[in-house]
């Protein structure tokens, strides 16, 4: 079955840029999406189709996807950006696949 691997945690200082990765076999041939989930809340879509932002998501959020790795980048990180971030893709055999999630801490 297809798997997506994410680092368990990423820390960043306020105002700095946070980057988190999502790795999977030939992920660059698929579209990656990203979700942010704050404690006690439902996930929220922040990036879809590798680098598109839904309405209401700040331009500070950007994404890329190439080779085996997709990356979510948050510039000028703020405390309100803290949460768990999940990547997601579709595999023809497995269906929808989520990564294990990365906890973003803004120190």
Partner 1 sequence: QLQLQESGPGLVKPSETLSLTCAVSGGSLTTTNYYWGWIRQPPGKGLEWIGSISYTGSTYYNPSLKSRVTISVDTSQNQFSLNLTSVTAADKSIYYCARMWLKRPKEYFFDYWGLGTLVTVSS
CB 82 to partner 1: min, Å: 17
Phi, psi (5° rounding) for residue 80? -70, -10
Instruction: Give the H or E element holding residue 18.
Output: strand 18-23
Of 19, 36, 30, 47, give the one whose Cα is nearest residue 96: 30
63: Cβ contacts below 8 Å, ≥ 6 apart:
32, 34, 47, 50, 51, 52, 70, 71, 72, 73
Under the binding rule (CB under 8 A), the answer on residue 57 touching partner 1 is no
Which of 77, 86, 104, 106 is in the footprint of partner 1 by CB under 8 A?
86
Which of 56, 59, 80, 95 is in the footprint of partner 1 by CB under 8 A?
95
What is the pattern of x (binds partner 1, CB under 8 A) and - over residues 22-41? -------xxx-x-x------
Contact residues for partner 1 (CB under 8 A)? Answer: 1, 29-31, 33, 35, 42-45, 48-49, 54, 86, 88-90, 93-101
């Amino acid at each position: 079955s297809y798997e997506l691997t994410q680092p368990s945690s990423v820390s960043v200082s306020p105002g700095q840029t946070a980057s988190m990765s999502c790795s999977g076999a030939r992920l660059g041939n698929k579209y990656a999406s990203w979700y942010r989930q704050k404690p006690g809340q439902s996930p929220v879509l922040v990036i879809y189709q590798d680098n598109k932002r839904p309405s209401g998501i700040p331009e500070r959020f950007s994404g890329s996807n190439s080779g085996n790795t997709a990356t979510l980048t948050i510039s000028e990180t703020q405390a309100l950006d803290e949460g768990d971030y999940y990547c997601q893709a579709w595999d023809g055999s497995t269906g929808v696949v989520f990564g294990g999630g990365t906890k973003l801490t803004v120190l």
